[in-house]
Amino acid sequence: MPSPLTEKQTLEIGKSNKRKYMLEKLSARIFLLCALLSVLSLLLIVGFVFYKGSHPFVAEGYSFIDFVFGVDWVPSEGKFGIFPMIVASVFATFGALIIGVPIGLFTAIFLAEIAPKSIAKIISPAVQLLAGIPSVLYGVFGLAIIVPFLQNNLGLAKGQSLLAIILVLAIMMLPTIVTVAETAIRAVPKTYREGSLALGASQIGTIFKVVVPAAKSGIMAAIVLGLGRAIGETMAVILVAGNSLIIPTSLTDSVRPLTTNIALEMGYAFGTHQEMLFATGIVLFSFILLLNFVLAKISSKGGN
């Protein structure tokens, strides 16, 4: 039988509880602060880029339309047109998707549905490690292997080309697509597979008629994430792009995507030139924002 607490003990407990509540509140604040830090960083970066990038259009009388649709980029003459770069970025990204999505999707299906555990155990970590390779190494690989390969086999004067970018980006987006798509496919209830197989469907038939459609929203998310990875990639692209300022008319043309333009020139640019590079950043950022918006739409649809 516990004896009732003395007055002094009650007081002490009250005190220690007070300290606990203080600590509780304090920790909550610290967590909040940490959480706000990322929002703050986002606001700062976006604000800074927009502030710097909008300056020429607001204060110096440049036309934004001419900027986006202009085909000449000659900073020394005050010509700032990024249309060739937008085209290059879009082509490179979608080209990479055309190669990367089927390969990534088939890999994900193989890992989730077909591969025996022992084989999946080797391939899965390999794909994930691919995501951990620094992008500059992809660029070096592209420059040392893919570029000479294209140069020799297609008889080009210069192997650095849109095609080289597409190939490097396709490899780079694989881990994102494979990992996200594999998770989506694994999340499809086992009962769907059983139901389909019990109806006399083959394994491949089951995969394409039931499993993949059921994992559709997750697979779409995988594709959009891969797209985001490709469009924002800079380092690897610089090394294999060739960086010519032309609107590409063939896969073998040397091109300069948006990211590359910023990275190449920011080091020595100043004044309007520098601000125009920030404006390039705005366009790039808008693309990525758009992708995120699409992604959010897709995943909210998948929730239903």
Partner 1 sequence: MGCMLMSTTVIERNNAEKGNFSQMKQHSGEAAKISVTDLNLFYGEKQALYNVSLGIQEKKVTALIGPSGCGKSTFLRTLNRMNDLIDGVKITGDIVVDSENIYQSNDVIKLRTKVGMVFQKPNLFPMSIYDNVAYGPRMQGIKNKKELNKIVEESLRGAAIWDEVKDRLKTSALGLSGGQQQRVCIARAIAMKPEIILMDEPTSALDPISTLKVEELITHMKKDYTIVIVTHNMQQAARVSDKTAFFLNGEIIEYDETDHIFSMPQDQRTKDYVTGRFG
Whose Cβ is closer to partner 1: residue 120's or residue 245's? 120
Least distance to partner 1, CB of residue 304, Å: 10
For partner 1, the binding residues (CB under 8 A) are 117, 189, 191-202, 205, 209-210, 213-214
Least distance to partner 1, CB of residue 219, Å: 14
Copy the structure tokens of residue 215: 């994992």
Beta bridge partners of 73: 80
CA distance 5 to 169: 71
Least distance to partner 1, CB of residue 105, Å: 19
Phi and psi at residue 4, in whole multiples of 5°? -60, 150
Whose Cβ is closer to partner 1: residue 8's or residue 117's? 117
Non-local CB neighbours of 43 within 8 Å, separated by 6+ positions: none
CA distance 27 to 147: 54
Least distance to partner 1, CB of residue 210, Å: 5
Greatest extent of the chain over all pairs of C-alpha atoms, in Å: 95
Whose Cβ is closer to partner 1: residue 196's or residue 274's? 196
Least distance to partner 1, CB of residue 186, Å: 15
Whose Cβ is closer to partner 1: residue 78's or residue 195's? 195
Whose Cβ is closer to partner 1: residue 137's or residue 199's? 199
Task: Please report, for residues 94, 109, 114, 203, 218, the alpha-carbon distance to residue 120 in angstroms, rounded to integers and kept in the order given.
Answer: 29, 11, 9, 18, 20
8 A C-beta contact, residue 215 and residue 188: yes
Least distance to partner 1, CB of residue 193, Å: 8
Whose Cβ is closer to partner 1: residue 27's or residue 202's? 202
Nearest to 196 by CA among 183, 209, 185: 209
